[in-house]
Amino acid sequence: MKKLEDYVTTIPDFPKKGIMFRDVTTIIQDKDGFRMAIDGLSNSLKDVEYDLIAGSESRGFIFGAPVAYKEDKGFVLFRKKGKLPREVYSQEYDLEYGTATLEVHRDSIKPGDKVVIIDDLVATGGTTEAMIKLIEKCGGIVVKIVFVMELRGLKGREHLAGYDVDSLIQYEGI
């Protein structure tokens, strides 16, 4: 029987020498791999009490929305700056070569809402940290964070200390 990591394609030396790029799109494009990922994410929430699932643009949408549907929960979108039409909260965060801004509608999370964050990958944790700050600015409570993959060498989990973090697949390197 195949494991989820069997659906991940690894590309050595991409985007630069020394990097082992873990391509999540090969999980998504295979019906069995995609089902396994969605079921794994959903199973990781079986003992969690929560109201909403949140995902960031764009692969957080791909994994978070089907889990929200399966779990009969609402799904909150976190988008790049300037993409949301109503009043938003914004949070700047660091990228490898610069900064970016993430936004959420101010009324999408109510005070006291318990929120689960789902994303494809945790590397440095910057995007997830920005999501946490925005959820808390809305008055929400982050009760769990689940990733399909974790690159342990980039220490993203350390930046999320104090939160319940899980991942379906862990890779030691970067």
Which candidate in 49, 86, 87, 96 is catalytic? 96
Distance (Å, whole) CA 44 – CA 118 = 11
Active site includes 158?
A: no
3-class DSSP assignment, residue 25: helix
3-class DSSP assignment, residue 111: coil
Distance (Å, whole) CA 171 – CA 124 = 13
Distance (Å, whole) CA 131 – CA 147 = 14
Distance (Å, whole) CA 168 – CA 149 = 6
Q: What is the CA radius of gyration of the chain?
A: 16
Which candidate in 59, 79, 106, 152 is catalytic? 59
Active site includes 59?
A: yes
* Cβ partners under 8 Å of residue 26, min gap 6: 7, 8, 9, 33
Which are the catalytic amino acids? 59, 96
